[in-house]
Amino acid sequence: MLEYDLLLRGGTLIDPAAGVHALKDVAVTGGKIAAICDPGTEQRARKIVDVGGLQVVPGLIDMHVHVFPGVSHFGVDPDSTCIARGVTTAVDFGTAGGLIFDGFRQLVIDRANTRVFALLHIAGQGMISSPGTLPALGELTDLRYCNVENVVRTVERHRDCIVGIKIRLTENLAEEGKNEAPGLQLARQAADETGLPLVIHSPDSSLPMSHVMNNMRTGDVLTHCYHGRRCGIVDEKGRVLPETKDKLDEGLLMDVGHGWGSFSWPVAQSMVDAGVIADFISSDLHTYNLHGPVFDLLTTMDKFLLLGMDFDEVIRRTTAEPAKFLNRQHEIGTLAVGATADITVLEIEEGKFPLKDSHGVIKNGTQRLEVRHTFRAGRPTGLLPRPTEQHLHARAATS
């Protein structure tokens, strides 16, 4: 009889990409999924892990993190915040621009145990200063840093890991708003010239949402979609703006990007109730929200369970959907036979769990996800507990 490297036995397999939700054993050989077996069938494996009562899902993908520690003040360590908390793949959301991306590749992508992809910031220096740093300068303060030729050359060097072009449209990052519209034009141009999606952050932009929408195309991403600040996608009554609705119908994608200031319970609830659902459930994990209110991707997933989203849909938006965006849906985000054996094993804990949004509003959840095992390409990785709550000075954060 065939002997597998690893067998996860007795768990419930939930793989939305493959349409599977059933009691199944998962067999791994050579870092790949070798077989999905009916429970109770005799299988031989060098290592057998009993996952009875647990949920076996594809390695989670956090579409929105900032993981360039020591260079950007936003940056957190990818391995202690992502893979140690069940996230096997993370997308750095434009922390680095073209002037520093070679360093991001060498210091983070090539070294981390977490699989890291990246958006490239339109501004060459990326997110290394903000209104809360010294100097107190946003990345769009001087548009000479937004050099399209530099963006194109950087993408050519790193096309295997750069998956989009990022811009933050926020008034106080852009010379009191003066540089927002021309910066957006440059980002649009860079996305067109590289053939990559444009990814826009809009909270507290001085531009009307219609202006932002006019610059977005099918396959582009609007992040921080459930924020309660200026330049959101809902009107004061919580209804989705018509210009946004049209774009969503055409295939604009939405990302949660919870962050320090971008997840509002009332906005998220009204939009989920109206069926306007983000494609990607992501944390926007960075220095200023790691110790609350974000903590990790799992806590953001808990919030969507509380909003009434089905568990399988929460998993789809943290596995299959981001894998599709990354154009790696046959390798990651699924546990189909032949896929990379990135696997997260979760326990659904029952109880009373306070969950705080970005405005300090607390709702009590009845379920909480906790990671019990993580495997990257079939190898077990170490886990860490959820970060503790601390009140950090958060002036430097704008997302």
Positions touching Zn ion (CB under 5 A) are: 93, 284, 399
Q: Are 169 and 183 in contact (CB under 8 A)?
A: yes
At 355, is the secondary structure helix, strand, or coil? strand
Give 93 or 226: the residue with its C-beta nearer to Zn ion: 93
- Cβ 257 to Zn ion, closest distance in Å? 6
CB of 64 to Zn ion, least distance (A): 6
Query: Which one, of 283, 277, 247, 241, lies nearest residue 263 by Cα?
Result: 283
What is the closest distance, in whole angstroms, from the C-beta atom of residue 123 to Zn ion in the complex? 14
Task: Give me the least distance between CB of 373 and Zn ion, in Å please.
Answer: 28
Q: Cα–Cα distance between 47 and 4 in angstroms, integer? A: 8
Burial code (b: 16+ CB inside 10 Å, e: under 16) for 262-296 equals bbbbebbbbbbeeebbbbbbbbbbbbbbbebbbbb
Packing angle, helices 148-157 and 180-194, rounded to 10 = 40
Q: Residue 315 in contact with residue 298, Cβ under 8 Å?
A: no
Residue among 167 and 276 whose Cβ is closer to Zn ion = 167
**Rounded to whole angstroms, how far apart are CA atoms 105 and 355?**
35
Residue 248 vs 397, nearer CB to Zn ion: 397
Distance CA 141, CA 272 (A): 36
Q: Which is nearer to Zn ion, 81 or 399 (CB)?
A: 399
With H, G, I as helix, E, B as strand and everything else as coil, classify residue 135: coil
Closest distance of CB 191 from Zn ion, Å: 18
Shorter beta-carbon distance to Zn ion: residue 25 or 284: 284
What's the rounded Cα separation, in Å, for the pair 176 and 230? 14
Using the minimum distance from each CB to Zn ion, give the nearer residue, 299 or 399: 399
Q: Shortest Cβ distance from residue 157 to Zn ion (Å)?
A: 23
Nearer to Zn ion, 98 or 126 (CB): 126
Residue 264 beta carbon to Zn ion: minimum distance, rounded to whole angstroms:
16
**Considering the complex, what minimum distance in angstroms separates the CB of residue 186 from Zn ion?**
19
Nearer to Zn ion by Cβ, of 89 and 399: the residue is: 399
Question: Counting beta carbons within 10 angstroms of the beta carbon of residue 388, is it exposed (0 to 12), middle (13 to 18) or buried (19 or more)?
Answer: exposed
Could you tell me which residues are beta bridge partners of residue 200?
167, 222
Q: Helices (DSSP H) in the chain: which residue ranges?
A: 78-81, 101-104, 148-157, 180-194, 209-214, 242-250, 265-273, 297-306, 311-316, 320-325
In the complex with Zn ion, which residue's Cβ is closer, 58 or 292? 292
Considering the complex, what minimum distance in angstroms separates the CB of residue 196 from Zn ion? 17
Q: H-type helices in 77-147, by residue range?
A: 78-81, 101-104
